[in-house]
Amino acid sequence: MSTPTTTSVPAGAPRVVRTRPRADGRVNPTTEYSGLLSTVRDAGLLRRRTGFYYTMFGALVLALGGIVTGFVLLGNSWFQLLLAAALGIVLTQFAFLAHEASHRQVFESGKANDIAGRTLANLVVGISYSWWMNKHSRHHANPNVLGKDPDIERDVVSFTAEDAARSRGLYAWLTRRQGYAFFPLLLLEGLNLHLHGFRTVFGKGKVDKRWVEISMLVARVGLYLAVVFWALPLGMAFAFVGVQLGVFGLYMGASFAPNHKGMPLLPKEARVDFLRRQVLTSRSIRSTWLTDLYMGGLNYQVEHHLFPNMPRPALRRAQVIAKEYCTTHQIPYTETSLMESYAIVVRYLNKVGLSAGGDPFDCPAASAYGR
């Protein structure tokens, strides 16, 4: 198994970066980032690549059409579950396109990106674009910042020892094993994403284009369930939906989880410049063309956070520039293999889970030895 090329984070150990005032004479951090941004802009890496996205969209539409055709031809066959798994994969790929549109990567026009993102997210994937935009924008502004990044807020899984220590009973038992349970739990993430969407659009909070999203979500979910339960026997229909949701949730979670879990956590009051805040809390994945396709560009996580509106095809070239820049400015850049990143996530979550059911201010090891 390969080891991460980084000097910033011990694998599996939760760590909070404590910041200190900058010494006099250091380069202005704003100037540091501006220099990097100018370099990638001059290289043409922020130019839109609409041809790539039209090609990806066309390929996914063809794949979706093939699944629908197979669904009709197979009839009442348990081989339908293979198509359900394929549908989960294709919908995740559509979700990647919606994610990229939300970052203004696809079109020059912000309005065109919003229309594409909202349509893909709500009408095709079945999740709320407004919910995603709100959550994901806060994450990008404050990755791994305690109390600010919604991606590390306590849910079924705890990402900090303090959150884990609040769990009790059966929940504490699960939390102590949450690293091993993480990927199986992702099988429920697809359903969770759909529920978040419906809770958002029917909730009291502000939702941009609320009725547009309600119409799209209801039409998408209603039509999907109607077709499946009309065409298949009841048990097979439930199995089809279950497999599709399971694959979708697992694939989504397995694509987003390696990017920050197990990387340094920043205190809420920390004053860290944009460049370091994004680089120190992100982990890139060593890439091939297959990894690029599998993760939808999320494997270039450091570059995605530094240049969130950069189109996917430009990220590989940007990585070369970013690595060299980080080396020159002595900023640790973290990169590892995909499988090692999964192992780091499991170890990190298990480490956090040791605090389950205890005092959030106690050291788990010290408590175990009665100290």
HSE (side-chain half, CA atoms, 13 Å) at 310? 26
- How far is the C-alpha of 247 from the C-alpha of 313, rounded, in Å? 26
pLDDT tens digits for range 220-233: 999 999 999 999 99
- How far is the C-alpha of 343 from the C-alpha of 68, rounded, in Å? 36
Please work out, in degrees rounded to the nearest 5, the angle formed at the alpha carbon of residue 239 by the alpha carbons of 75 and 83.
50
Residues in the chain: 371
Rounded alpha-carbon distances, angstroms, from residue 292 to 93, 244, 263: 12, 23, 21
How much is the pLDDT for 31? Answer: 74
Domain range summary for the chain, segments of one domain joined by +: 29-355
Terminal CA-to-CA distance of the chain, rounded, Å?
36
Residue 78 CB partners (closer than 8 Å, separation 6+): 236, 239
DSSP of 299-363: TSHHHHHHSTTS-GGGHHHHHHHHHHHHHHTT----EE-HHHHHHHHHHHHHHHHTTTTS-TTS-
pLDDT tens digits for range 70-93: 999 999 999 999 999 999 999 999
Structure tokens, 9: 């984070």
Residue 24: exposure state from Cβ atoms within 10 A (0-12, 13-18, ≥19):
exposed
Rounded alpha-carbon distances, angstroms, from residue 232 to 89, 219, 238, 275: 21, 20, 9, 53
Please work out, in degrees rounded to the nearest 5, the angle formed at the alpha carbon of residue 57 by the alpha carbons of 312 and 216.
110
Specify whether the CB–CB gap between 307 and 318 falls below 8 A.
Answer: yes
Closest residue by Cα to residue 264 from 284, 278, 254, 252: 278
How much is the pLDDT for 254? Answer: 96
Structure tokens, 178: 């949450």
Helix 129-141 to helix 210-231 angle (10° resolution) is: 120
pLDDT in tens, the chain (371 residues): 444 555 343 344 344 344 444 454 455 666 789 999 999 999 999 999 999 999 999 999 999 999 999 999 999 999 999 999 999 999 999 999 999 999 999 999 999 999 999 999 999 999 999 999 999 999 999 999 999 999 999 888 999 989 899 888 888 898 999 999 999 999 999 999 999 999 999 998 889 999 999 999 999 999 999 999 999 999 999 999 999 999 999 999 999 999 999 999 999 988 899 999 999 999 999 989 999 999 999 999 999 999 999 999 999 999 999 999 999 999 999 999 999 999 999 999 999 999 876 554 444 434 433 33
Closest residue by Cα to residue 93 from 120, 111, 119: 120
Residue 211: exposure state from Cβ atoms within 10 A (0-12, 13-18, ≥19):
exposed
How much is the pLDDT for 14? Answer: 40
Rounded alpha-carbon distances, angstroms, from residue 96 to 60, 140, 158, 186: 11, 16, 26, 17
